[in-house]
Amino acid sequence: MTGRAHVVAHEVQRLEIPVDLSYDEFRDRYEQAVPAFDLQRFADLDPSRIDWATVQATTDTAAPHGFLLYLRAEVDLIMRIAGHPERCTSYLMGNHTIAERMYRHDHAVMLYAPLRTQIHEDREGAVWFTIDRPSTRFASFDDPRITEVGVELDHKVADLLGALGVDASAVLRS
């Protein structure tokens, strides 16, 4: 093995955004706006005849707001046993065609792509959408090409939330 370990300290901004809908209503809207990644859609494409433009077009069709869900975890199911009745669902949300634009410069970006998001209730029953601000995650690579995509993701998340009736523009576009 060659080289030395690198330690990269960086600041991340976690955004906790209030949602003025019920937990179930917001979660349903979110999951409709950000559909599950369908591997079969891509498995049916012949790898010997497909090009990246086809993958991009297929992804654009599948992701009406630019994002797909790669994972959904019902965190609350096990936590209820420990006495925590509040609802909580965590997700991995992203877009592999956007991630590729960073991956080509540094494969380690996949540590933060797809993005982690969460919908949860607090102890008073209020609903929250939580995400680490993408630009603060990707700025840690100290590459302006990656940082630029991170800022673009901030704006895409703001657009997604706007489509869901949650105004986060002041936070995500600043």
The structural domain count of the chain equals 1
Res. 173: pLDDT tops 80: yes
Pairing of strands 88-94, 14-19: unpaired
Does residue 1 fall inside a structural domain?
no
* Distance in angstroms (rounded) separating the CA atoms of residues 84 and 77: 9
Vertex 87, ends 82 and 90: CA angle to 5°? 100
Q: Confirm whether pTM is higher than 0.85.
A: yes
CATH number at residue 135: 3.30.310.70
**Predicted local confidence at residue 1, as pLDDT:** 64
Asked, for residue 127, whether it belongs to a domain, the answer is: yes
Q: In angstroms, what CA-CA distances link 97 with 59, 64, 67, 116?
A: 8, 14, 10, 17
Convert the pLDDT of each residue in 72-108 to its tens digit.
999 999 999 999 999 999 999 999 999 999 999 999 9
What is the spatial distance between Cα 121 and Cα 128, in angstroms, rounded to a whole number? 6
Q: pLDDT for 9-25, tens place per residue?
A: 999 999 999 999 999 99
